[in-house]
């Protein structure tokens, strides 16, 4: 009987931030969890306390790393940081409310909302990424962790856009299609990587959160 070399991945979105609550785009800007986000992180961690993880990995942005540390506090796992798991960089969109983006950058906003995966975003504090660049970055990171850890269980804490990319990769969805699925704060999402390919096991578990949670904003 040969060993199962598939890798189990529990992919978790960070808890809520004040900018999530007011629909202000974060991207690479480093925004801490708010009090509700910290509560969500603790609730997520408690719900996973009985599971075994070989590795705990997070984006280097504070909202993800802080959420991951809540899980590490109950599992005893050290935290590995990987900047490739950051949210998409939105360039000049970052720090703006969605309504302000549409008013200030109407053409770029239309391309973004129209799912132009190669559209370049206006520069800001950071250089923006196209959706294709972002997708390649984060799928490469997650599949890389899986390839380096065959047969193991990984908890990865990242961002709404990262979760969207991994969901699309697992289901073979075109990057051009509208997002018709929710990506909730502090949600637990389960995948298997088998023979280098992502498979979805379950999506959007927020049973551990008893109050409303925000979709990816």
- Catalytically active residues, by annotation: 14, 87
Helix (H) or strand (E) holding 153: strand 153-158
Beta strands in 59-133 (DSSP E): 79-81
DSSP bridge pairs for 189: 11
Any alpha helices (H) in 76-210, and if so which ranges? 98-104, 106-113, 131-148, 160-171
Helix (H) or strand (E) holding 99: helix 98-104
Give the list of residues 6+ apart from residue 215 with CB closer than 8 angstroms, or none.
Answer: 182, 183, 184
Helix (H) or strand (E) holding 7: strand 7-13
Helices and strands per DSSP (H, E), number in the chain: 7, 6
CB 134 within 8 A of CB 88: yes
CB 190 within 8 A of CB 48: no
C-alpha dist (Å) from residue 136 to 90, 133, 188: 16, 5, 22
């Amino acid at each position: 009987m040969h060993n199962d070399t598939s890798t189990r991945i529990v992919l978790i979105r960070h808890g809520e931030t004040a900018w999530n609550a007011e629909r202000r785009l974060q991207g690479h800007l480093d925004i801490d969890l708010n009090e509700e986000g910290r509560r969500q992180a603790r609730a997520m961690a408690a719900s996973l306390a009985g599971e075994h993880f070989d590795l705990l990995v997070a984006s280097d942005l504070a909202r993800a790393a802080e959420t991951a540390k809540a899980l590490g506090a109950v599992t005893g796992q050290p935290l590995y940081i990987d900047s490739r798991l950051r949210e998409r960089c939105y360039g000049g969109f970052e720090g703006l409310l969605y309504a302000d983006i549409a008013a200030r950058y109407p053409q770029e906003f239309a391309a973004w909302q129209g799912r132009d995966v190669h559209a370049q975003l206006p520069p800001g504090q950071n250089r923006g990424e196209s959706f294709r660049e972002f997708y390649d970055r984060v799928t490469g990171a997650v599949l890389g962790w899986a390839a380096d850890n065959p047969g193991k269980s990984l908890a990865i804490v990242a961002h709404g856009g990262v979760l969207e990319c991994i969901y699309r990769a697992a289901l073979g969805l075109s990057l051009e299609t509208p997002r018709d699925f929710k990506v909730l704060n502090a949600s637990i999402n389960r995948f298997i990587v088998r023979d280098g390919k992502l498979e979805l096991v379950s999506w959007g578990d927020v049973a551990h959160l008893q109050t409303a949670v925000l979709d990816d904003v």
